[in-house]
Amino acid sequence: MEALLLQVLNGLDKGGAYALIALGLTLVFGTLGVVNFTHGALFMLGAFVAVSVEKVLTISSKVRDESITFFEAYKETPYLEIWWGDTGAAIIDWSVPISIIIAIPIMLAVGIAMERGLIKYFYKREHADQILVTFGLAIVIGEIIKANFGANAIPQAAPEVVSGSVDIGAAIGLDGVVYPWWRMIYLAFSLSIIGGVFAFLHMTTFGMVVRAGMHDRETVGLLGINIEKRFTIVFGLAAVVAGLAGVMYTPILPPDYNMGMDFLVLSFLVVVVGGMGSLGGAVAAGFLLGILQSFSSMTAVKEIIPGIDQVIIYLIAVAILLFRPRGLFGKD
Amino acid sequence: MSNDSKKLTELSRRGFLKSTAAAAAVGAAPAMFVSNANAYVNAPKGKSVTLGFNVPQSGAYADEGADELRAYKLAVKHLNGEGDGGLMNTMKPMSLKGNGILGKKVEFATGDTQTKSDAARASAKRMIEKDGAVMISGGSSSGVAIAVQSLCQEAGVIFMAGLTHSNDTTGKDKRKHGFRHFFNTDMSGSALGPVLESEFGKERTAYHLTADYTWGWSQEGSIKNTTEGIGWQTAKAVRTPLGAGDFSQYITPVLNSGADVLVLNHYGKDMVNSLTQAVQFGLRDKNVNGKDFQIVVPLFSRLMAQGAGENIKGIYGTTNWNWSLKDAGSQAFVKSFGAEYGFPPSQAAHTCYVQTLLYANACELAGTFDPCGVIAALEGFKFDGMGNGPTEYRAEDHQCFKDVLVVQGNDNPSSQFDLLNVVQEVPRSQVEYSTTHLGGELGSCNNKA
Amino acid sequence: MKIIELSTSKRDLLILVVFSVIVLIAPFWGSLIGAGYPDLLQKFAIFGLFAVGYNILFGLTGYLSFGHAAFLGVGSYVAVWSFKLFTMNALPAIAFSIVFSGIFALVIGFLCLRRTGIYFSILTLAFAQMSYKLAYSVLTPITNGETGLFVLKDDPRVIDGALGIASAENPLASLFGITLNGYEGFYFCAVVLILGFWLSMKIFRSPFGMKLVAIKSNQTRMEYTGFNHRPYLLAAFVISGMYAGLAGALLAVVDPTAGAERMVWTASGEVVLMTILGGLGTMFGPLIGAATIKYMENIFSGINDTLLGTWFDFLPQALTDLLVTIVSPFVGSGWHLTLGLTFMMIMIFLPGGMVEGAQKIKAKFFNKSKTEQVESEQLEKDGAA
């Protein structure tokens, strides 16, 4: 019982992350018709905004360790702590939440620059061309990060108060149902971002035009509405969502330059299982894949079907695509 | 040369004549077809000899690979008599003269393994076929090491393994042309056992999370053997997909399993992620059966400790070498590496540097680069002053036997490099095993040209 | 029904002869660009063949498969098992590989071709990833997992045993006594490549190929005419899968080993990139793309600062240092950066891939008055693409 409940929690948590990462991808495909292989790199860039913010906040005064003579080793104390004591330490402690605020304008700028500088020339090109050019860009972004931050993972800590875990089970009379605070925050965060994007698309005029554009681009253009400009903003929005997903994920997964590629395939699976261009589908598919992946990892299941946890998400994708031609919520 | 391989050579020569004829027929007979009259592959002709350094330069182990490459460059410098000489000041017995190897200046070629067997074999082949390397060294994973080792056997050059920890490299898949200085999972197990017993007691229940590939299984087996030997129970051993990223679905079952020790048989990125997440799930704050819950990471490296950050503090594991050692050899190496690059070398750098010197020394001893001679010189070679105490290259399996370090994540580091505390230097006698224990067949040396 | 016309027009014959000559003298021109050693030449031929086969599916029908590496992997495993169980002779290994990868492609193609567009791509990707993950872990008894499958001295090899051929210490694939490593291996692959290229040319020119192009240009219209396109698509899928299996078998022939990583999604992605980079739907494009990517992977990655220094040695010291500093981020461990930039540049400036670049250069330097003709060739190509 406890074990099952924990796996449900794991599934929801994973699902939230998958949905959030896939959201921007499906948004871009739905509106712009672009297969964006840079999406994983945008997720990774967000994570490295968090890394950079932490690096800036922890610029340190260095005291040479005199016992080491062969090279220079320092004991580092961040200036923020020296100047402002506990307040400074608290600011550093909260570097990941602070990064969220900083990541929004940065990722928006990156997204808009990418769309204006590159992607817009590829709207009319074939998907294959889009894949090659965005894949090339993803490699370039990755290599730039590698050149500056190395290939090793760089740990990021969640704020002290939420770095531990909480005994949820105690409230409902179950033993040992313990879950990390940060993962629950991530779930709540992804739900609110997803909700926000939905609200934006359904409750604002801007969103209405974009949705109309997704449906029939030419007619909207004929009505004299500048759909291009709005699509630029949509691309920026997608970059922001991907970047925020990356920032928030850093305490769970220490980021490295290759993490974008690791999530690329996964996010495409989520998008396609949900139905290309369907926001609701992506969210549903994210949770579906997350929960099934968690359950398939249980030893009881693995004993019946060895290796099932290795292939479950692909298996689900195959099953759904064979029985639902356009994914869960796809339109024909 | 064995009869078989002689026959093969003749056959291939006939084939080569045919294909040359074919090439000539279409109007081109490139110069590189001129038959090689040397006694062995890539015998150095001019005033220099080329070594091939095959390390991961892209992918998850790129930083480790970069450090290995730094060590190789340093070793080449020292062999050529430049710089402060490094371990050539402390190694004994030593036949190196600081004038290259056998009077030939040492040059090197580099390649990117991408931590993939195919890519690693391709770049090793380039160094053998194009750059004329007589020896290949490097690697950051056992799969790659085994793949390149068997290639070197086929090609007739020496392979000096870099970082590879699986038993198989000098066990099931050992080769006459392959040599490993690094330790293996069995040694990790034997070294950790007594420390775990004295720190955590005899009555413990362990839960394994194991990376689902050969190295992971090898380590799981070795650690299980040891812990069950000291009376521990094994609650469960769960296999996790390589590169799983999020391990939560494997960690939550540990919470209520009744186990009080978690063994993470992961390396690199997997280890950084699973450890970070296990700590987040509050495992280390737990109390099971009246005992504090513990996490053990049998194979450690400083670069990985960096990636895991705070979470590594107090965690036990083993390592091949650490820069904080105080013996003359280690000090000499840290000194010259530190002076060159401004930071301390990793264990990967150390093993690669030592391997290069050992190879060069064996050439001097043998008086030739002929692999058969070099192999004979390396087999059973006993040396000291290289940072691991008295060491022997065992002739039967080409594995170095030496002391193993049990380390613990440092609670209170005095600098950004001071991440590991050496808890114990476990003597060689405790980690040694019989020559037949791991099986495998060395085969014979192959010096066909 | 005669699907493939077997007569060869004069022009095609000329192309084939020129192509064969270029391939067979590869050791000569390869050595001019630092690629004149057996392993890389073998890779040029093998991955060229892989891309030529892939182009039959992707180039002609427009169906973007992200899972063809799985067929290559199957081909390799089957070939190595043939070496282990039967004989070191390359021909049975190749035959088995083509058959097995063909069957595998038939099953996967039958399922995946029920969908089109990105849905088809993701289906193929999912199947290939499943194959990769299983080969890496659960199927270890067959695939030897991470370590990969090797040919050993004491493998059974029943046919060799019956013929009294002794097992060598390090068994190598052979063709009736000729061992197929080194340059012998390259010439073997080169001959197979020429045959494969010839076959693909036949397919391009055949009514079957025309039908595939018609499917690409307008599937719906084809359906209205009562034409059932599924068998044609499936045939193209299986043929390209067999090409992949053949390429996998050749990898095992020149180097008797097979590993799971040959099946990972990035390996499938690589052949897609090769095809687009060179020129999708053109005869030579995929070959050029394959050679370019393999060249960067093997040569650019091996250039280090020391080597750069010797290249620029003739210049004054300060200039040498400057050049080394400028160039070194793009070579050695930075070779991926160059690869990524190349993809972007080609797609931005030469939408038709490198073949289009070659045509432009040809038009500019060799025959300005024939620009119109180039344009008409371009149109022809577009028709075929």
Q: Is the predicted pLDDT of residue B200 greater than 80, yes or no?
A: yes
Question: In percent, how much of chain A has pLDDT > 70?
Answer: 99
Residue C95, domain member (yes or no):
yes
With a cut of 50, which residues of chain C have pLDDT below it?
1-6, 369-385
pLDDT tens sequence across A176-187: 788 899 999 999
Asked which of A41-55, B378-392, C153-167 is least confident by mean pLDDT, the reply is C153-167
pLDDT of residue C45: 96
Residue C68, domain member (yes or no):
yes
Is this complex scored with an ipTM above 0.90?
no
**Residue in B closest to C28 by C-alpha:** B30
Task: Return the CATH number at C239.
Answer: 1.10.3470
pLDDT of residue B28: 38
In chain B, the number of structural domains is 2
Report, as an integer, the average pLDDT of A301-321: 88
User: Domain check: are B119 and B164 in the same one?
Assistant: yes
Return phi, psi of residue B400, to 5°: -75, 135
pLDDT of residue C367: 63
pLDDT of residue A331: 61
Tokens of C130: 């499943």
pLDDT band at B162 (very low <50, low <70, confident <90, very high): very high
Structural domain of residue C185, as residue ranges? 10-264
Q: Is the predicted pLDDT of residue B14 greater than 50, yes or no?
A: no
pLDDT of residue B10: 42
In this complex, the residue of B272, B281, B343 whose CB is nearest that of residue A178 is B281
Which chains, if any, share at least 3 CB pairs under 8 A with chain B? A, C
Give yes or no for C231 touching A (CB within 8 A): no
Distance from CA of C150 to the nearest CA of B (A): 9
User: Domain check: are B175 and B52 in the same one?
Assistant: yes
**Cβ contact A307–C134 (<8 Å):** yes
Residue C226, domain member (yes or no):
yes
Residue C293, domain member (yes or no):
no
Contact list, A180 vs chain B (CB under 8 Å)? 280-282
Establish, for the pair of chains B and C, how many residue pairs have beta carbons separated by less than 8 Å.
168
Stated pTM of the model: 0.90
pLDDT of residue C228: 81
pLDDT of residue B11: 41
**Cβ contact B32–C31 (<8 Å):** yes
Residue B53, domain member (yes or no):
yes
Give yes or no for C343 touching A (CB within 8 A): yes
CB neighbours of A311 closer than 8 A, spacing ≥ 6? Answer: C129, C130, C133, C134
In chain A, the number of structural domains is 1
Structural domain of residue A197, as residue ranges? 2-323
C-alpha span between A236 and C48 (Å, rounded): 39
In this complex, the residue of B111, B147, B153 whose CB is nearest that of residue C170 is B153
pLDDT of residue A31: 81
Residue C147, domain member (yes or no):
yes
In this complex, the residue of B248, B252, B307 whose CB is nearest that of residue A155 is B307
Distance from CA of B348 to the nearest CA of A (A): 14
User: Domain check: are B84 and B151 in the same one?
Assistant: yes
Which of C110, C121, C274, C343 has the highest number of chain A CBs within 10 A, making it the mutation to test binding with A? C343
pLDDT tens sequence across B51-84: 999 999 988 888 899 999 999 999 999 999 999 9
C-alpha span between B292 and B167 (Å, rounded): 31
Residue at which a domain ends, from B370, B386, B402? B402
User: Domain check: are B148 and B197 in the same one?
Assistant: no
Residue B409, domain member (yes or no):
no
Residue C352, domain member (yes or no):
no
Distance from CA of C336 to the nearest CA of A (A): 7
User: Domain check: are B52 and B128 in the same one?
Assistant: yes
Which chains, if any, share at least 3 CB pairs under 8 A with chain A? B, C
Task: Return the CATH number at B213.
Answer: 3.40.50.2300
In this complex, the residue of A7, A70, A299 whose CB is nearest that of residue B238 is A299
Residue A329, domain member (yes or no):
no
In this complex, the residue of A68, A175, A258 whose CB is nearest that of residue B60 is A258
CB neighbours of A120 closer than 8 A, spacing ≥ 6? Answer: A228, A232
pLDDT tens sequence across A234-293: 899 999 999 999 999 999 999 999 888 888 888 899 998 998 878 889 999 999 999 999
C-alpha span between B326 and A123 (Å, rounded): 63
**Residue in B closest to A5 by C-alpha:** B252
Residue A328, domain member (yes or no):
no
H-only helix segments in C86-226 = 90-112, 117-136, 140-143, 158-162, 182-205, 207-217, 219-224
Report, as an integer, the average pLDDT of B327-346: 93
Q: Is the predicted pLDDT of residue A201 greater than 50, yes or no?
A: yes
Q: Is the predicted pLDDT of residue B2 greater than 50, yes or no?
A: no
Structural domain of residue B378, as residue ranges? 48-183+323-402
> Mean pLDDT in chain B?
88
Residue B348, domain member (yes or no):
yes
Distance set, CA B396 to CA B148, B385, B443, C33, C297 (Å): 20, 23, 11, 44, 37
C-contacting residues in A 68-127 (Cβ below 8 Å): 118, 121-122, 125, 127
User: Domain check: are B312 and B379 in the same one?
Assistant: no
Residue C131 bridge partners (DSSP): none
User: Domain check: are B328 and B315 in the same one?
Assistant: no
Distance from CA of A265 to the nearest CA of B (A): 13
pLDDT of residue C67: 93
pLDDT of residue B30: 38
Distance from CA of B415 to the nearest CA of A (A): 4
User: Domain check: are B133 and B56 in the same one?
Assistant: yes
User: Domain check: are B149 and B260 in the same one?
Assistant: no
In this complex, the residue of C34, C145, C168 whose CB is nearest that of residue B5 is C168
Which of B87, B249, B304 has the highest number of chain A CBs within 10 A, making it the mutation to test binding with A? B249
Give yes or no for C227 touching A (CB within 8 A): no
C-alpha span between A299 and A311 (Å, rounded): 15
Which of the two residues, B16 and B87, has the higher pLDDT score?
B87
**Cβ contact A10–B249 (<8 Å):** yes
In chain C, the number of structural domains is 1
Which of C40, C170, C176, C298 has the highest number of chain B CBs within 10 A, making it the mutation to test binding with B? C170
